[in-house]
């Protein structure tokens, strides 16, 4: 089981998941309670009453406050205890831990590290999925496996032509490289930026890409991974040889967050230019969610079982040429974890 950085923003939920109901979610090995105040502000607190550590998410919501179902202690959105049946006045010194949480790009982002370092300006940029006039859908899934397996899965998209031939990847006769196929990847600080281009495709796209039937086209995907678990895809197409498009016909958000031992969250969003009416949303919601549930997740769960909870790189896996981006990402994550471990030691000197 790999470790993870904590002094960073992680996806806690889709923004639409947060409302009046008390939502329990395990994040970074901790139980977390999520909800919205009556004013619409997101709240994130440890889902454990400080008295006997009962789950606050199983309690009652009273206005913006949460009452523990076990002994009736009540907490406000700041985590302060506002009422105890066993004190004559409002108790002091009793509180539940809360976490900074910010709504942005349709995602509720949580910071579970050093509170004073939580700067919303460092939330990864996913503005490119908010394209005017496009339809936007999103989903949340979990799987039994390490969170970095999903980063690997998305950084190397050659598996589309093996694992996803019946869904989104069936536009090549052979899974091997085609003449003129391009794969470019580079490191940029805490980001890895890449492009995958497939030329001269003569099969209709699995989704609407704006290319008229019968026209051979080039398709490319610009990928930006930001440490530790954030990816954006900008998927574009143009008639063969043009290699230029005004904007993506489809933009995607992909976010991975560790849940606990051997379990991870996967959040996704798709902004699309095709089937651009609301009644098509359910079809594409099922299409994209089903790809992960029936193809990606079972594969990663199988890999996790075979790894037996060990770290991937400790097993000395074969490294293929297209693994370069995934390896860059893993090394960047390892450096981030090491830097956090070194920071307390430096401060103590």
Q: What is the pLDDT of residues 63-94, one digit of tens each?
A: 999 999 999 999 999 999 999 998 877 888 89
Cross-strand pairs, 75:
66, 81
Under 8 Å between Cβ of 56 and 73: no
All CATH 3.90.380.10 domain ranges in the chain, comma separated: 125-338
Q: Where in the chain is the domain with CATH 2.102.10.10?
A: 9-121
- In CATH, the number for domain 9-121 is 2.102.10.10
- CA 144 – CA 259 distance, rounded (Å): 10
Cα(298)–Cα(290) distance, integer angstroms: 11
Please provide the CATH number assigned to the domain covering 125-338. Answer: 3.90.380.10
Number of neighbouring beta carbons within 10 Å of residue 91: 15
User: Among 172-176, 242-246, 256-260, whose mean pLDDT is lowest?
Assistant: 172-176
User: Is the confidence at residue 287, as pLDDT, over 80?
Assistant: yes
Residues near 38 by Cβ (< 8 Å), separated by ≥ 6?
63, 64
Residue 68 dihedral angles phi and psi, to the nearest 5°:
-65, 135
Strands in 107-111's sheet, in edge-to-edge order, are 9-14, 107-111, 101-104
Contact 35, 23 (CB under 8 A): yes
State pTM to two decimals: 0.93
Residue 344 — very low, low, confident or very high, per pLDDT cuts 50/70/90? low
- pLDDT above 80 for 343: no
- Residue 146 tokens, joined: 């390490």
């Amino acid at each position: 089981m790999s470790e993870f950085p904590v002094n960073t923003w992680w996806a806690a939920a889709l923004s639409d998941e947060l409302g009046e109901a008390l939502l329990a979610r395990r994040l970074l090995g901790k139980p977390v309670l999520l909800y919205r105040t009556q004013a619409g502000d997101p709240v994130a607190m440890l889902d454990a009453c400080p008295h006997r550590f009962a789950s606050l998410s199983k309690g009652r919501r009273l206005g913006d406050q949460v009452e523990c179902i076990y002994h009736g202690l009540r907490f406000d959105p700041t985590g302060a205890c506002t009422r105890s049946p066993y004190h004559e006045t409002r108790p002091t010194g009793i509180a539940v831990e809360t976490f900074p949480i910010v709504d942005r790009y349709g995602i509720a982002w949580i910071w579970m590290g050093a509170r004073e370092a939580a700067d919303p300006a460092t939330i990864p940029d996913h503005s490119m999925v908010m394209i005017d006039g496009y339809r936007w859908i999103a989903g949340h899934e979990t799987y039994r496996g390490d969170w970095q397996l999903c980063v690997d899965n998305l950084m190397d998209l050659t598996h589309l032509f093996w694992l996803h031939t019946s869904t989104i990847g069936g536009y090549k006769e052979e899974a091997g490289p085609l003449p003129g196929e391009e794969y470019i990847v580079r490191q940029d600080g805490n980001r890895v930026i890449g492009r995958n281009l497939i030329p001269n495709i003569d099969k209709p796209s699995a989704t609407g890409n704006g290319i008229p039937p019968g026209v051979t086209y080039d398709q490319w995907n610009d990928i930006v991974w930001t440490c530790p678990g954030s990816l954006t895809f900008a998927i574009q197409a143009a008639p063969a040889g043009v290699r230029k498009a005004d904007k993506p016909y489809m933009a995607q958000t992909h976010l991975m967050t560790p849940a606990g031992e051997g379990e991870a969250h996967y959040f996704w969003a798709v902004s699309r230019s095709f089937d651009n009416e609301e009644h098509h949303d359910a079809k594409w919601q099922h299409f994209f969610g089903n790809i992960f549930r029936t193809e990606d997740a079972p594969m990663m769960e199988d890999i996790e079982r075979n790894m037996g909870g060990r770290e991937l790189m400790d097993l000395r896996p074969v490294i293929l040429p297209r693994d370069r981006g995934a390896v860059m990402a893993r090394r960047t994550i390892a450096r981030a974890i090491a830097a956090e471990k070194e920071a307390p030691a430096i401060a103590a000197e």
